[in-house]
Amino acid sequence: MFAIVGKKNNLLFRLRRVDKENLMDKKLTKFSEIGLFSSLDVLELLCKSSYSLEFQKIDGVDSCSVSCYVTPGNAKFILLHEDLPEEAVTNFFATVRKLYGTLIMSPFYAIDTFIASPKFGAAIKKALDELFASVKSPMHHSTVF
């Protein structure tokens, strides 16, 4: 699962992974949103004690890890994943950062509001598919909706 959370910890965007048969992975979805939002508390503590913008594996939900990137404008990119290499996660966040930067420069997008752009969603979906295709994992054959 991937989410973008705004300055006021409001959900701006979300993509959930599903398996090949379009059934959501119960292990990931049962606590995924709760897990993502509970990791915001950990992220706030880390941001106060560090100048870093990217935090790898800051929290866990079952066998999954939560990695985050915080933009200078305080938007948070949060990724729930199973043992992805740090380099792959860093590259994914770099791609999302470019896409998000392009989006917020648009005069048609109000900053810190829900992102309903189908073009943005498709680009994030492609980046997420590339992230999981680049590694060998049990979720290798899944897609997002």
Q: What is the pLDDT of residues 49-77, one digit of tens each?
A: 666 666 666 666 666 778 888 888 888 89
* Structure confidence at residue 2 (pLDDT): 87
Q: What is the pLDDT of residues 83-106, one digit of tens each?
A: 777 888 889 999 999 999 999 999
* Structure confidence at residue 70 (pLDDT): 86
**CA 109 to the chain's CA centroid:** 20
- Put residue 110 in one of left, alpha, beta given phi > 0 → left and psi -120 to 50 → alpha: beta
Percent of the chain at pLDDT > 90 equals: 26
Q: Are strands 64-70 and 17-18 parallel, antiparallel or unpaired?
A: unpaired
This prediction has a pTM of: 0.78
**The dihedral formed by the CA atoms of 49, 52, 57 and 59, expressed in degrees to the nearest 10:** 30
Separation between Cα atoms, residue 25 and residue 19, nearest integer Å: 6
* Structure confidence at residue 137 (pLDDT): 46
* Structure confidence at residue 118 (pLDDT): 92
* Structure confidence at residue 36 (pLDDT): 66
